[in-house]
Structure 1
Amino acid sequence: MASTEFPQPAASPATVPPAGPVLADGETSRTVTLPGLSLLVRSRGHDLRAAHAGVREPAMFVHGLGGSSQNWSALMARLAGVLDVEALDLPGFGHSPPPDDGNYSLAAHARAVVRLLDAEARGPVHLFGNSMGGAVVVKVAAARPDLVRTLTLISPALPELPPQRTALPTALAAVPGLPALYRRVTRDWPAERRTQALLSLCYADPSVVGPAERAAAATEYQRRVDLPYFWDVTVRSTRGIVNAYTLGGQHALWRQAERVLAPTLLVYGVRDKLVGVRMARRACRAFRDARLLTIPGSGHVAMMEHPFLVERAFRDLRQEMAARTRGGAGEGSVSATAEMSTSTAASGS
């Protein structure tokens, strides 16, 4: 359920003022102010007039617990030539301040995404979500199908019972008293140690992140920990995920997945320590128009570890949708896409 603030090793962050977000070459950022809400939005080659004119289809990326829009920089760079790409920092994360109402439930995060898309008239978008962000965008797609062209879910935080043992420490952050105990135990940990712990949790192979990127990640981690609201946001958002897992009826996340109409790409890492690859089979049954990419060498953040494979699978999906529009593809194209994507991942290309 966690995500990270780590930059993709291949990206070379540009120099930016210390108070602002770290931007990769070609990226810009802006702040969108809505009633009770202020959101940092990261863009790459974004031109609002061109987007409204339909020159490039819009895409929105939503990060996971503990992450930010920076998690999507590598994938955004690969897709910027065909899509109008943007990623937001959810309320209280990255460089977005906490919401006025202090609500960090999955429903509140989903409302923030919807309000942003409505305010800028960007829908329908290709909607991407990782981990907690995956659960958030499922709620968006279920409630507002008019806003979603396609849905790409990377290790989505959908209910997994029992959870993997390696995911239990993250879930325990929702237990009253334990976050305070953890803070006392780890208060003398340097940022580098915290960074290594997150890398080991979220990456299948943490060694792919080089020394320069680790140093940048540690600096960003320390900035976040020093924010007066960091622990409150983390704990409340974790509780929001756990609470969502307990909901029944039409509000249950798996029930909402069944309501999604948009063509859906599911991406799972075989070595994911937080969301088990065993959930891929259930997800394929739940989403009515699904195709699957499994990556043997990936952990929890495939868009950072293997952006090429995620890009390729999404391009396959987009081409499939174009063929459907032309009337040249039927139901058989779904399983064909899934088989091709899985074999590509297995080859390690």
Structure 2
Amino acid sequence: MKRALLEADESIARDEMPPPWPGRAVRIDGSVTYVRDTPATRPGAEPALYVHGLGGSAQNWTDLAGLLADRLDGQSIDLPGFGRSDPGRRYTIPALADRVIRYIEHSGRGPVHLFGNSLGGAVSVRVAGLRPDLVRTLTLISPAMPFLDPRRSLQGRMVPLLAVPGAERFASRWLTQLPPEEMARQVMEACVADTRRICDQRRQEAIDEIRIRYTAEHYASAYLRTLRGLVGSFVRAYLPGAGSLWRIAGLITAPTLVIGGTQDRLVDVRVPAQVARLIPDSRLLVLDGVGHVPQMEVPRTVARAAAALLAETAPVLAEPAPLPAAGPVPAAAPVPVAGGPVPAAG
């Protein structure tokens, strides 16, 4: 594990407030996966895929994908049952990882720079560990990797429902009892340490997303069954067998960046460091005073860390063989390099 670097701030594109990137339905194996494209702004950009967390959607990546568009040709997907994607038949971590793998294969864009937040981080760990041929680099943001007591999370109040027959009915009532504006406020306060960092446009987009969820009959079931699958992965992580996410993390060969916030209320704050220690080629960035979704709360800092990883792992082009010298040549003065990576702060 190494300390993460931050690319120079001036090397990152100017902050803008793009609307949600254009979306389209992609049919894979008879089911729709909704995809948002963040077109590259420069030629030669490499493919990237962004995977959201529990209860989120592809829109969670709008700002970060925009800031990296000069380096990456980004696509973000709605996982089955979330956003505008069709519901899935199963909502376990292996099933969700299989959907990500199938999308990468279907798109023909692999290997990709893979980004995952929260649940999407756990899914991305499985993808990178089991299909290294599909992943060029891996960035895990507040990954929901197993920790012993999920009740410490704010989502822990939903855990008792997992053992109740017909729990989807109760979950549906709980998830739709509040006006969209109030639900968006509560979700934002749970995920973000300083809500002043979220602009009005992003707040309104969150409200619009919740309105879509309220009209999707499958959403409550997808949410609860995905939570059940996530908690199930926690249990399996401490049992013998090859299915443990911790064991799979140790198989990852891709250069990896792990990011966590000290004010994360949904994933144990000790998890990012544990993940980084286990992945052989890893870098760790811990952000003081930041919550569960750093890519939304401090997207520019996350973009600088991701850009440093890309710069560090970029293929080195072979230098052409020198031409025979006709005679003595005076030594050239050294040229200063600007915009290189600098150590990450705290």
Aligning the two structures, in what range does the TM-score lie when normalised by the shorter sequence?
0.7 to 0.9
What is the number of residues matched between the two proteins?
306
Preserved CA contact (<8 Å) 2:18 2:62? no
Runs of 5+ unmatched residues, structure 2: 1-14, 320-340
Q: CA deviation at 1:11?
A: 2.8
Could you tell me the percent identity over the aligned residues?
39
State whether residues 193 and 263 of structure 2, in contact with CA within 8 Å, keep that contact through their aligned partners in structure 1.
Answer: yes
Structure with more of its chain in helix, by fraction: 1
| Greater RCO structure (CA 8 Å; 6+ sep) | 2
What aligned pairs does 1:72-87 form with structure 2 within 5 A after superposition? 72-87=61-76
Equivalent position to 1:222, from 211, 230, 251:
211
Structure-1 residue corresponding to 2:310: 318
- The answer on 1:143 being equivalent to 2:130 is yes
Which residue is 2:77 aligned to? Answer: 88
SS, match of residue 313 in structure 1: helix
User: Structure 2: which amino acid aligns with 1:340?
Assistant: P
1:4 alignment counterpart = none
Counterpart of 1:11, as a letter, is M
Change (3 A) 1:83 1:219: closer
Determine the C-alpha separation between the residues in 2 that align with 1:140 and 1:45: 24
CA-to-aligned-CA distance 1:219-262 (integer Å, 9 cap, x gap): 32122122111111111111110111121321101001001110
Specify which of 224, 244, 260 is matched with residue 252 of structure 2: 260
Shift of 1:186: 6.6
Decide whether the 8 Å contact of 1:167 with 1:273 is kept in 2.
no
Give the conservation status (yes or no) of the 8 Å contact 2:153–2:268. Answer: no
Secondary structure at the residue paired with 1:251? coil
Contact 2:36 2:75 in 1 (8 A): yes
Residues 1:36 and 2:30 aligned together = yes
Instruction: Name the counterpart of 1:56.
Output: 45
Q: What is the aligned partner in structure 1 of residue 194 from structure 2?
A: 205
Give distance in 2, aligned partners of 1:133 and 1:212: 24
The residue aligned with 1:123 is: 110
Unaligned stretches of 5+ residues in structure 1 = 1-8, 14-22, 328-336
Q: Match of 1:255, as an amino acid?
A: R
Corresponding residue number in structure 2 for 1:340: 343
Alpha-carbon distance between aligned partners in 2 of 1:187 and 1:69, rounded to the nearest angstrom = 21
CA, structure 1 residues 210+79, in 2 after alignment: closer, same or farther (shift >3 Å)? closer
2:93 is aligned to 106
Q: Distance in 1 between matches of 2:92 and 2:318?
A: 40
Give the AA of the match of 1:169: R
Picking from 91, 110, 120, the partner of 1:133 is 120
Partner secondary structure for residue 314 of structure 2: helix
Change (3 A) 1:136 1:326: farther
**Given the superposition, is the C-alpha separation of residues 312 and 12 from structure 1 closer, same or farther in structure 2, using an over 3 Å criterion?**
closer
> How many Å apart are 1:193 and its aligned residue?
1.4
Are the equivalent residues in 2 in contact too, given 1:46–1:84 (CA < 8 A)? yes
Larger Rg: 2
User: What is the alpha-carbon distance in structure 2 between the residues aligned to residue 92 and residue 183 of structure 1?
Assistant: 14
CA contact (8 A) 2:40 2:70 kept: no
Flag as ranges the 4+ runs of structure 1 deviating above 6 A: 323-327
TM-score (norm 1): 0.81
Pair 315,242 (structure 1): closer, same or farther in 2 beyond 3 Å: same
- Measured in 2, the distance between the counterparts of 1:183 and 1:40 equals 23
RMSD across aligned positions (CA): 2.5
Partners of 2:23 and 2:110 in 1: CA distance: 20
Deviation at 1:169, TM superposition (A): 2.1
Alpha-carbon separation, structure 2, partners of 1:235 and 1:287? 30
Question: Cα–Cα, structure 1 residues 131 and 170, in superposed 2: closer, same or farther, change >3 Å?
Answer: farther
Structure 1 position 232 matched with structure 2 position 221:
yes
Cα distance in structure 1, aligned partners of 2:178 and 2:61: 27
Q: CA deviation at 1:123?
A: 0.7
The offset of 1:340, in angstroms, is 1.6
The Cα shift of 1:274 comes to: 0.8
Q: TM-score, normalised by structure 2?
A: 0.82
Cα 1:219–1:291 shift into 2, 3 Å:
same
